[in-house]
Amino acid sequence: MKNLFCLVCVCISMNSFAQIKELGISKLFADTCTINFLKPDSGQFIRTYPRNFLVNADTAKHTLKVDDLYFDTLAMIIDALPGCIIEIGSHTESNGPDKKNLTVSKQKATNTLAYLVRICAVKRSQLRARGYGETQLLNACDDDVPCSESENLKNRRIELKIVGFTK
């Protein structure tokens, strides 16, 4: 119950989000949350920023290298939404070919789902994985637009979105 209360506080005020030390999270983890944990609804989401996905371009292997705390926090958020079906939506920046970015984002979403099910014991029936590539950029950093690394980082994200409800 304490975790649910903390998550409700987090989503009401993003300033509070940075101050909840017992969760070990900050605005670097998430900057937007529209989820009402007391009355969840389709389309509500939380936008998170896993910074350490590594992609080996030479072998096309996609490896998760994210701190356990990140996944534990995702699992805690999902656990606070019983009865909700959650989409794990992975997004990339626009650097590189569109097709590659879509492939990378699909693999990140799939790997995140697999980790949450295997390691964090989240119910598979509650999750969906979807890669968006660079189709939903949050800023003007499109192809052929020069952007700083911090601007590009804004587009590298995972969003947990409520897409339905279990019966």
pLDDT digits (tens, 9 = 90+) for 89-103: 999 999 889 999 999
Structural domain boundaries in the chain: 2-165
Question: Could you tell me the two tokens for 82?
Answer: 């019983």
Residues 149, 166 contacting (CB under 8 angstroms): no
Out of 20-24, 66-70, 80-84, least confident range:
20-24
Percent over 70 (pLDDT), the chain? 74
Give the model's pLDDT for residue 54.
41
Tell me 60's DSSP state.
T
The CATH classification of domain 2-165, taken from the options 3.30.1280.10, 3.30.43.10, 3.30.1330.60, 3.30.530.20: 3.30.1330.60
Question: Could you tell me the two tokens for 101?
Answer: 């970015």
Percent over 90 (pLDDT), the chain? 45
From the list 82, 91, 137, the residue with the least C-alpha distance to 112 is: 91
Sign of CA dihedral 166, 46, 49, 130: positive
Confidence category of residue 64, pLDDT binned at 50, 70, 90? low
Question: Could you tell me the two tokens for 117?
Answer: 């099910």
Q: What is the pLDDT of residues 4-35, one digit of tens each?
A: 544 444 444 343 343 333 334 566 677 788 88
User: How far is the C-alpha of 130 from the C-alpha of 109, rounded, in Å?
Assistant: 6
Residues 62, 18 contacting (CB under 8 angstroms): no
Residue type, 161: K
User: How far is the C-alpha of 155 from the C-alpha of 81, rounded, in Å?
Assistant: 25
